[in-house]
Amino acid sequence: MKILVISGFLGAGKTTFIKELIRRTGKNVVVMENEYGEVNLDSQEISQTSDVDILEFAEGCICCSMKDSFASSLLTISSSLDPEYLVVEPTGIGKLSSILATAQKYEYERISLLRPVTIVTLQSFYRYRREHPDIYLDQIENSSRIVFSKGENESPDVLEKIAAEIRRLNPRAEIVCRHYTQQDDAWWNGLLEEERAAECSTWNTAAESAGRASKIHECTFAKARLRNPAELIVLLEDVIRGELGDISRAKGVLQCGGEWLRFDAADSRYGVTGAEGYAQETQCVFIGRTVKRRALFDRLNAGTDGAVET
C-alpha cells in the first residue's frame, strides 16, 4: 500500500484535486478524509463522481488528537482492504510534519510513503503565512510538491513571485505553477509512483518550535433553515467581508425555502449550487480565527427548527 498525503490549508481545493487525480489515473484508490468538525461534505463530493472506498475521520485531527486512531487505521486498511494506494486528505489545519512522521513509523515492505503534495491558493498565500504560520509553513516546508490552485487568472509575475517565496522556504520541492488540469497523464501517474527520498527521515517542525500557535475556532450547525436563496447569498457576502468574524472557510448544505442548496466560501470567494446527491440534512460549518457564533445563530435561525451549535 502506497500512501499519498495531500495537504493544504482550509479551502485550498484538496478535494477537487483528489477527484481529478482519481479521474486521470484510474487507479485502485482508497481515500481517507479527515474533516474538521462534524461536516462530511468532502467525502460525499468524491463519492458522487467516483466509485472508491472513502473512510472518514471527524471531530478531530489526525496530526494530533486522532494520531493513534490514524496509525491503527493504516494497518487495518492495509490488512483488510489491501488497496494499491491510500490517498490521505488531512483537515486544512493539520500539520503535515506530524502526519508524515506518524505514517513513517508504520513503513515496512507492504506500506510506503509517496512524495507528499501541498495545495496552495495564491490569493491567500501572504494572509495565511502571516496569520497561521505554524500550520501554513509546516505544510509548505514538509511537502515534496507544491501545487497552485485558483490561479488561472493571475499574472505570470504573481505566479513567479509566490513561487520564489516558496522556493526560499522549501528549496527541495517541485513547484507546479500552471493549473494542475493542464498536467499530462505521466505527471498524474507519477504522483502515485514516486516515493519520498530515503534520506528524508525527519520532518521540518521549525514553525511549530517557534511557538506561534494558530488559534482556530469552529462553529457547526445541525439545524438551520433560510427563507430563500437570496438570504444565503447575503449571508455569504457578509462572511467574505468579515462581518461575521475572521472566517477562513465556510461550507454546508441547508434548506432555503423549498430547495436544498450547497455553499462553499474561501479565499474571498463563494459558490452556491444545488445539493443533488448530498444527504438532505443540514450540515454547516464556519472555521476561522474568530467566528461570531451568536450572529450566525441568529442569521441561520430563520426557520421554525432554529439552529444548534455543536
Phi, psi of 193 (to 5 degrees): -125, -25
What is the structure's pLDDT at 208?
Answer: 46
C-alpha cell at 107: 513503513
C-alpha cell at 104: 513513517
Give long-range contacts, CB 8 A cutoff, 24+ apart: 165-168.
Answer: 165/125, 166/120, 166/140
What is the structure's pLDDT at 24?
Answer: 94
Phi, psi of 231 (to 5 degrees): -65, -35
C-alpha cell at 47: 463519492
What is the structure's pLDDT at 46?
Answer: 64
Instruction: Compute and round to an integer the Cα radius of gyration of the chain.
Output: 19
Q: How many helices (H) and strands (E) does the chain have?
A: 11, 14
Residues in contact with 242: Cβ distance below 8 Å, sequence separation at least 6, in sequence order:
none
What is the structure's pLDDT at 64?
Answer: 59
Residues in contact with 230: Cβ distance below 8 Å, sequence separation at least 6, in sequence order:
none
Q: Which residues of the chain have pLDDT under 70?
A: 36-51, 57-67, 197-213, 302-310
Which residue has cell 482556530?
216
| CA–centroid distance for 248 within its chain | 12
C-alpha cell at 248: 477562513
Q: Tell me the torsion sign for CA atoms 159, 162, 164, 167.
A: negative
What is the structure's pLDDT at 130?
Answer: 92
Within the chain, residue ranges assigned H as helices are 14-25, 41-49, 67-80, 96-104, 125-131, 133-141, 156-169, 185-191, 206-209, 229-241, 293-300
C-alpha cell at 50: 467516483
